Amino acid sequence: MQIFFDDRQCLHDPKRELHNGDWTDYFESASRARAIGSTVGKADAPGDFGEAPIASVHSPEYIQFLKTAMTRWREAGRSGDAIGYVWPVVRRRALQFGRIDADLGQYSMDASTPLTEGTWEAAYWNAQCAIAAANTVLSGDKSAFALCRPPGHHAGRDYLGGYCYLNNVAIAAQHALDNGRKRVAILDVDYHHGNGTQDIFWDRGDVLFASLHADPATDFPFYWGHADEQGEGAGAGSTMNYPLPRGTKIAGYQEALRKALERIEQFKPEMLLISFGADTFSQDPISHFELQAGDYSLIGSDIAALGLPSVIVMEGGYDLETLGQNTAEFLSAF
Amino acid sequence: MQIFFDDRQCLHDPKRELHNGDWTDYFESASRARAIGSTVGKADAPGDFGEAPIASVHSPEYIQFLKTAMTRWREAGRSGDAIGYVWPVVRRRALQFGRIDADLGQYSMDASTPLTEGTWEAAYWNAQCAIAAANTVLSGDKSAFALCRPPGHHAGRDYLGGYCYLNNVAIAAQHALDNGRKRVAILDVDYHHGNGTQDIFWDRGDVLFASLHADPATDFPFYWGHADEQGEGAGAGSTMNYPLPRGTKIAGYQEALRKALERIEQFKPEMLLISFGADTFSQDPISHFELQAGDYSLIGSDIAALGLPSVIVMEGGYDLETLGQNTAEFLSAF
Ligand SMILES: [Zn+2]
Ligand SMILES: [Zn+2]
């Protein structure tokens, strides 16, 4: 299986995040990418496919914001990483501001996802990996893996959050549709709900989004991923959420997975894109499922049994000791 | 003029706020209330009118949240003040959570308005002051002043923000309507847009909301208070926003004020409620207008010339040296 990674993805390097009312070390570190890379095998640098595939998912204003935010933050006299402090919780709409703090809230959903000097470049090459993996599968390979980091599935069309800036899996899915595929499915098996991906394809009938994740009543991102969220308009019924309780073990996980896979089969997609997170692992420091070493090959096999061309995109997973091995195990099924 | 204040309002005492990407001292200190109280003259403690007038503006879930948040924060093992870290920026809806962090985001709009042990009690007595002032005017007095602190105009029906927890002026306005008045007007002359008040009465035809404030393109709360926001449904045309540029002096201020007062006269309210903030002052440490000592009597006189029974509710103002004097000057016109 071809694997894509670019060293520039490590240029994104936040110093800290807001957590439990105070600063804490940033969990989504560049070491994650190195831990995965050193285990899953040789990676290729992606080609440069430019901004167009990114702009087919994210708004031009948001892309411009990501590119310029740090310069504006510095011009405002601020040291350290950039984060917002107020958010448009009601009647959010596209507005133009003359202040970086306003844009930080307009284009984000949390105070835990800082922008740093290298964020745009890292996110850009991250997205190129996802596009390269999609191209590989579009060209006939059975599967490909985009070693994305920072992750992407919490990022919406015009907002960052949950460690995510560009929605890599959404960019890959849209790229497949823009290159001849008529229907694609996205399966999200990260511990956390892929709210950004859901939001991007919320009213779209050509993309099925199915997500298994910790119940948002207790886990981030809280406000999305509840079972009654099923899409709207042309997308009504094309969003499927399977919230699972903390403590979920492989049996409960596979039961929900079977339902999601049945729904994907019914949808008859031409390609499957998988948001893979290893933060479902029992020892993950920020998560609360009870999957064990060995379970990832079972999950991989269940999904691979669909027999669909598959693009696997890395999302979360924060236990540096096991992250590479669990990911490699999952990939081995494809 | 009768003045209402209760010492318990000082029980709210946050240690710090998130500002420019890091912690800073909390500007909205209890010293503000003491600075005003020592200058404007003797204040009376309000009666206890209970929770019903509060519940006619704020949702029961939000009130319950305010009452229990700190206990839940401590139960979650957290020290320090409580603040959220993620917000429902799209498709916000009423949801039930099993985690205090989720509720903190569900019921707030920023990361700069912490909850402390004394917040609910302070906010409660704060609201009682506003109700007492409304009752005084309902009983025939020409005017009354509620020395509210913390302020209220950024708080919505079910969210806190901008140093505000209960929307004192909205509670007083609704109380007047619930006690026989058919139409009331709220004039907001704080430096910042009263987004919470606007939101509460957004679709209401019985309350005119008019606000003069710094252009939200550059100033908090950014996402609301733009000139094109005019209400909806039965409230269409009953919201009037007059954003003004940084650097505005008394001449420009009075010109916008004249327009707002004309609109209020046309509305023919039976009572006027004023959200008064002294943060329009040139020396205010967080604001950028250029009003001077002496200007507040001009503004007060312009408003008092309407001849309407007037309830004045304190909002912002952060220059402790001049806060009392500017407020006293404003009040002297009524
Ligand atoms: Zn995750
Ligand atoms: Zn203010």
* B244-300 confidence digits (pLDDT tens): 999 999 999 999 999 999 999 999 999 999 999 999 999 999 999 999 999 999 999
Burial of B233 (0-12, 13-18, 19+ CB in 10 A): exposed
- Would A102 be classed as within a structural domain? no
Q: Which of A95, A101, A217 sits opposite B98 (nearest CB)?
A: A217
> How confident is the model at residue B241, as a pLDDT?
98
Relative to beta strand B271-276, strand B184-188 is parallel
- Would A78 be classed as within a structural domain? no
Q: What mean pLDDT comes out for the span A288-299?
A: 97
Helix pair B295-304, B250-267: axis angle to 10 deg: 10
- Would B96 be classed as within a structural domain? no
Measured in Å, residue A261 CA sits from the centre of ligand 2 at 53
- Would A282 be classed as within a structural domain? yes
How many separate domains does chain B show? Answer: 1
Relative to beta strand B22-25, strand B16-19 is antiparallel
Q: CA-CA distance, A277 to A113, in Å (whole number)?
A: 18
Asked if residue A279 lies in contact with residue A192, where contact means CB atoms within 8 angstroms, the answer is yes
- The pLDDT tens digits for A253-265 are 999 999 999 999 9
Taking CB atoms and an 8 Å limit, are A217 and B73 in contact across chains?
no
> How confident is the model at residue B299, as a pLDDT?
98
Taking CB atoms and an 8 Å limit, are B89 and A91 in contact across chains?
no
DSSP B16: E
A222: left (phi over 0), alpha (psi -120 to 50) or beta: left
Q: CA-CA distance, A207 to A224, in Å (whole number)?
A: 18
- In chain B, the residue whose alpha carbon lies closest to the alpha carbon of A156 is B90
Distance from CA of B89 to the nearest CA of A (A): 5
Q: Which residues of A are catalytic?
A: 154
- The pLDDT tens digits for A60-73 are 999 999 999 999 99
For A184, the 3-state DSSP assignment is: strand
Taking CB atoms and an 8 Å limit, are A112 and B199 in contact across chains?
no
- Would B86 be classed as within a structural domain? no
Measured in Å, residue B283 CA sits from the centre of ligand 2 at 13
Q: CA-CA distance, A208 to A316, in Å (whole number)?
A: 21
- Would B127 be classed as within a structural domain? yes
Residue whose tokens read 């996110």: A123
Chain A residue numbers touching B102 (CB-CB < 8 A)? 216-218, 222-223
Asked if residue A1 lies in contact with residue A309, where contact means CB atoms within 8 angstroms, the answer is no
Those residues whose C-beta lies under 8 Å from the C-beta of residue B278, and which sit 6 or more positions away, are: B284, B296, B316, B317, B319, B322, B323, B326, B327, B330
A128: domain CATH number is 3.40.800.20
Chain A residue numbers touching B87 (CB-CB < 8 A)? 87, 89, 109-110, 223
Give me the domain span that covers residue B237.
Answer: 2-58+118-332
Taking CB atoms and an 8 Å limit, are A85 and B18 in contact across chains?
yes
Q: What mean pLDDT comes out for the span B82-96?
A: 96
> How confident is the model at residue A220, as a pLDDT?
98
- The pLDDT tens digits for A138-195 are 999 999 999 999 999 999 999 999 999 999 999 999 999 999 999 999 999 999 999 9
> How confident is the model at residue B18, as a pLDDT?
94
Those residues whose C-beta lies under 8 Å from the C-beta of residue A174, and which sit 6 or more positions away, are: A53, A56, A57
Chain B residue numbers touching A20 (CB-CB < 8 A)? 76, 78, 101
Q: Side chain identity at B91, as an amino acid letter?
A: R
- Would A168 be classed as within a structural domain? yes
Six-digit token string for B295: 């200007």
Which ligand has the nearest atom to the CA of A32?
1
Which ligand has the nearest atom to the CA of B315?
2
Chain B residue numbers touching A99 (CB-CB < 8 A)? 217-219, 222
pLDDT band at A285 (very low <50, low <70, confident <90, very high): very high
Six-digit token string for B298: 């001009």
Q: Which residues of B are catalytic?
A: 154
Chain A residue numbers touching B95 (CB-CB < 8 A)? 217, 222-223, 226
- Would A186 be classed as within a structural domain? yes
Taking CB atoms and an 8 Å limit, are A112 and B162 in contact across chains?
no
- The pLDDT tens digits for B143-195 are 999 999 999 999 999 999 999 999 999 999 999 999 999 999 999 999 999 99
Sign, CA torsion B67/B73/B75/B80? negative
- Count the residues in chain A: 334
Q: What mean pLDDT comes out for the span B225-236?
A: 98
- In chain A, the residue whose alpha carbon lies closest to the alpha carbon of B93 is A223
Q: Which of A76, A80, A92 sits opposite B223 (nearest CB)?
A: A92
Asked if residue B196 lies in contact with residue B156, where contact means CB atoms within 8 angstroms, the answer is yes
Phi (first) and psi of residue B17, to 5 degrees: -135, 155
Taking CB atoms and an 8 Å limit, are A101 and B224 in contact across chains?
no
Q: CA-CA distance, A212 to A204, in Å (whole number)?
A: 20
For B73, the 3-state DSSP assignment is: helix
Q: What mean pLDDT comes out for the span A219-230?
A: 98
Task: Please give the share of chain A, as a percent, with pLDDT higher than 90.
Answer: 100
> How confident is the model at residue A173, as a pLDDT?
98
Asked if residue B21 lies in contact with residue B94, where contact means CB atoms within 8 angstroms, the answer is no
Q: Which of B89, B218, B219 sits opposite A89 (nearest CB)?
A: B89
> How confident is the model at residue A214, as a pLDDT?
98
- The pLDDT tens digits for A230-253 are 999 999 999 999 999 999 999 999
Sheet strands (E) in chain A: 2-4, 16-19, 22-25, 143-146, 184-188, 207-214, 239-244, 271-276, 310-314
